[in-house]
Amino acid sequence: MGLYSFIAIVLMLSTLSECQSNRVQKNENEVIMQTEYKHENMDTIIPDKLNIAFILGKFDPTQTNGFTQIDQKYADRAGLWLNIEAYEAFIRMWEAAQKDNIDLIIRSATRNFDYQKGIWERKWMGETTLSSGVNLGNSKYSDLEKAKMILEYSAMPGTSRHHWGTDIDLNAFENDWFEKGEGLRVYYWLENHAHEFGFCRPYTSKINGRTGYNEEKWHWSYMPLSKGYLLFASQHMSDADIQGFLGSKTADDLQVVKNYVLGVEGCGK
């Protein structure tokens, strides 16, 4: 064997060893991403170092590493944000859908604690009517009854999967829309192809005894990330963490973590 051949082999083995080392380090980081538990200031949260504040949505996605603004080409309005990896997966899904003449439109994406608090409290105060047509502003319902009615389709602040930047609402907010015409075509396409891009529908029919929110045919979750986030929530989140908004005292009685955060079918459960 010549000198130059020997040197080439040594360099190749060195490069291979370095690549293997990098793969090991990457795997270690992936484990850390799913299991690390720290209480950090909400202004310094980064999604690849999970902590309870991130899971509760107590951060600003516009100021957080790993999030990006959604091009209005894919959404019904400007100003929506999503985890970068989930966004890139959605774009691939959108492009595939376009080839089949299916239009996918993001209606809602990342919603942090404050955003969700606004949605919840407007319904609690009666400023927004529930999808059932009930207005809770002048109702005689107890706090527990009010919370249950809102929870049919809306999460308590701190418990929404939309906090994580992995979940999106597509095209419409009514199940009926997905049961005929264009909506049915969109629904069938997603049911048959969304999994190819890592997306799963967490809120399916309750015929199998699933707890939590009613079925949402529009809600899709990016599994490669949300599965780890859900696991973290199951290990570290409690009803005592759910506070800071009107009606939050009902969280314990309703066992919102068990019945709503974990009340999904598939999608990492």
Above pLDDT 90, what percent of the chain? 75
The pLDDT of residue 234 is above 50: yes
C-alpha span between 259 and 212 (Å, rounded): 5
pLDDT of 217 strictly over 70 = yes
pLDDT per residue as tens digits for the range 105-131? 999 999 999 999 999 999 999 999 998
Q: Give 148-159 pLDDT, tens digit per residue.
A: 999 999 999 999
Give the dihedral sign, CA 221/203/235/118: positive
Contacts by 180-187, CB closer than 8 A, 24 or more apart: 185/102, 186/102, 186/103, 186/104, 187/217
Residues 249/252/256/259 CA torsion (nearest 10 deg): -150
Rounded to a whole number, what is the largest CA-CA distance in the chain? 91
- Residues 33-47 have a mean pLDDT of 34
* Residue 259: per-residue pLDDT: 96
**Are 66 and 46 within 8 A, CB to CB?**
yes
Provide the whole-model pTM. 0.81
Mean pLDDT of 159-165: 98
Please identify, in words, the CATH class of the domain defined by 67-261.
alpha beta
As given in the structure block, the two tokens for residue 180 are: 């005929």
Is residue 229's pLDDT more than 60? yes
The 3-state DSSP class for residue 133 equals coil
pLDDT tens, position by position, 1-16:
453 443 333 333 343 3
Res 268: pLDDT: 62
- pLDDT tens, position by position, 71-104: 999 999 999 999 999 999 999 999 999 999 999 9
94: phi then psi, degrees, rounded to nearest 5: -60, -45
Instruction: Sketch the domain layout of the chain as residue ranges.
Output: 1-32, 67-261
Q: Is the pLDDT of residue 170 over 50?
A: yes
Secondary structure element (H or E) that encloses residue 252, with its range: helix 251-254
Give residue 266's pLDDT. Answer: 73
Closest among 188, 153, 128, 166 to 263, alpha carbons compared: 153
